[in-house]
Amino acid sequence: MSTPSSVTARPQRARIIAYVLALVVVVVFTLIATGLHGKTGDGPGFFQRGDQAAMIGLGLCAAAGILLMTRPRAVADEHGVRVRNIIGTYDLPWDAVRAVTFGRGAPWLTLELHDDDRVAVMAVQIADKDYAVRAARGLRALHTASRTPAVVE
């Protein structure tokens, strides 16, 4: 297998699910907001336009939170790997990485560092099956190539 010059990975299924779910949340909150109305004396609640706008705003905030699931990304080249997870970003040179692992039952790929720390690579998720396998193999190939001394002729 030849070593790729770079590897870029993003979750596939999680992104689709997040986009659909965010849209559903906005639609549901908007429908609830338009259904909120009442007059004084119609019961315990009295809803005004501001309340309806607040409900739509809550739906948009919830959708934005769901869309954070689309943030993970990993970009690797011969120098190292840049990992962006839902919260947090790591820029690691290959000499800081001891191993690229996809543990049995693990939801995503992990980088084991020389200081016994681990960095989750949420961009490469087991749910993506073949895509995840190709990304993991590409990252391992780049890691292995970085550890092999260049042959000068």
Residues 147, 97: Cα–Cα separation, whole Å: 10
pLDDT value at 41 more than 60: no
Residue 43 banded pLDDT, cuts 50, 70, 90: low
What SS3 string covers the chain?
CCCCCEEEECCCHHHHHHHHHHHHHHHHHHHHHHHCCCCCCCCCCCCCHHHHHHHHHHHHHHHHHHHHHHCCEEEEECCEEEEECCCCEEEEEHHHEEEEECCCCCCEEEEEECCCCEEEEEEEEHHHCHHHHHHHHHHHHHHHHHHCCCCCC
pLDDT at 102: 86
Chain centroid to CA 77: 20
Domain range list for the chain = 6-10+71-147, 13-69
pTM metric for this prediction: 0.79
More confident residue, 116 or 41: 116
Determine contact, residues 6/75, Cβ cutoff 8 Å: yes
Phi, psi (deg, nearest 5) at residue 42:
-85, 10
pLDDT value at 73 more than 90: yes
Beta strand pairing status for 73-77 and 6-9? Answer: antiparallel
pLDDT at 22: 97
The total number of residues shown for the chain amounts to 153
Q: What is the CATH number of domain 6-10+71-147?
A: 2.30.29
